[in-house]
Structure 1
Amino acid sequence: MVKSLLLVGVGGQGTILVSKILSQGLINEGYDVKMSEIHGMAQRGGSVTTQIRFGEKVYSPSIGEGEADVMIAFEKVEAARYLNQLKKGGRLIVNDVEMYPLPVLTGKEKYPDGVIEALEKEVENVKVVNARKVAEDLGEIKTQNIVMLGCLVKALELENIDWIKLIKENLPERVHEINIKAFENGMNL
């Protein structure tokens, strides 16, 4: 059986790094894995999505509308933007964080209210996490993505893979310890 994962966020949040670590772990576990990433208009601040499909045999990385088994959103408006990709009965893990796009920063638009509440009305299986708070408590805001990775690994029941080794292989040595703590905190959420 093939599982379809959709990771969505904003450029600069580390969505692609998490996708690479996740894909590597799945490959190491013996799964056939296909990954596709899409960057928005800007490297930082634009919408970023990654589609990962894994199973015994996967023919395409593409996830059609209503086909994602799990969506992990690094930013809540991005969750709302791509909600149509999640299958009925699918699982949504959303970071309760706001990243303001340029029109909001310049005052031309307003960041929408009630995003989490709207998501909870639409999706039966929603896990809201505050990865930003966890990262701040650890003293390194940049670890939010690894907190989210921990949440996703736990949700997918993939704890048997050596994620610590993969984190060490994909990040500079000077940040290993803090990111391992972030991952473990994410698993506990």
Structure 2
Amino acid sequence: MTRENKKTVNVLVVGTGGQGVITASEILSDVAMRSGFDAKKSEIHGMSQRGGVVTSHVRYSENVASPMIMQGEADILLSFELSEALRWLHFLRPTGRVITSLQKIIPPAVYAGMGSYPEDAQAVIRQRTADPVFVDALPMAEELGNPRLVNTILLGIASTMLDLPLDAWKAVIVERVPPKFKELNLVAFDKGRDVA
């Protein structure tokens, strides 16, 4: 995903309401623009206030016409929840990468007996993609002192797969988070890079 090949880089960010999907996609878009790219972003909130599905498409290149990623064209699928990674796997290109938190959020339909949580999600993702990154991000974030750091940890991992300058990532994170959480978010970002 280097700048020299001038192809559009497509990152699909998925999760459920309240996990920080939109914030993560805004940070990624800002980093791409700060790095001199044209960036477009689109999001679907669903029932985000009730833990419903949230998706955000981020595309960047020298010139981007549409914010929407077509099925089979995502370079990176960045998922905040394990079954959401499985649900959106068809958007990944054959050479694309999956980064997913191992967190499982059981949907209300499962509790109501109208479905079941996919127990084999990790195995299916491994079968369908090369080198997926599974990370137990929530316990890592809690160990750092704030469960909301999951998105920064995941962005740290994604930053190692995207040809965007490290200083741009850190500058945007510092600008986007409340002052009292700046240092903690930078630590979480570096922790994600170490995991990768």
Q: Same fold (TM over 0.5)?
A: yes
Aligned residue for 1:34?
A: 40
> How far apart are the structure 2 equivalents of 1:162 and 1:44?
33
Aligned residue for 2:169?
A: 163
Aligned residue for 1:153?
A: 159
When structure 1 is superposed on structure 2, of 37-46 and 6-15 the one drifting more is: 37-46
> How far apart are the structure 2 equivalents of 1:72 and 1:107?
28
> How far apart are the structure 2 equivalents of 1:162 and 1:103?
41
> How far apart are the structure 1 equivalents of 2:164 and 2:128?
27
1:161 and 1:58, CA in 2 relative to 1: closer, same or farther beyond 3 A? Answer: farther
Q: Describe the SS at the equivalent of 1:155.
A: coil
Q: CA deviation at 1:70?
A: 1.1
Q: CA deviation at 1:91?
A: 0.9
1:145 and 1:160, CA in 2 relative to 1: closer, same or farther beyond 3 A? Answer: closer
Q: Across the two proteins, how many residue pairs are aligned to each other?
A: 189
Aligned: 1:100 with 2:106: yes
Taking structure 1 as the reference length, the TM-score comes to 0.94
Gaps of 5+ in 2: 1-6
Aligned residue for 1:113?
A: 119
Gaps of 5+ in 1: none
Q: CA deviation at 1:53?
A: 0.8
When structure 1 is superposed on structure 2, of 93-102 and 159-168 the one drifting more is: 159-168
1:165 maps to amino acid: A
1:1-189 map, 5 Å: 1-106=7-112, 108-189=114-195
Q: CA deviation at 1:158?
A: 2.5
> How far apart are the structure 1 equivalents of 2:92 and 2:65?
20
> How far apart are the structure 1 equivalents of 2:60 and 2:76?
12
Taking structure 2 as the reference length, the TM-score comes to 0.90
1:41 maps to amino acid: M
Q: Describe the SS at the equivalent of 2:10.
A: strand
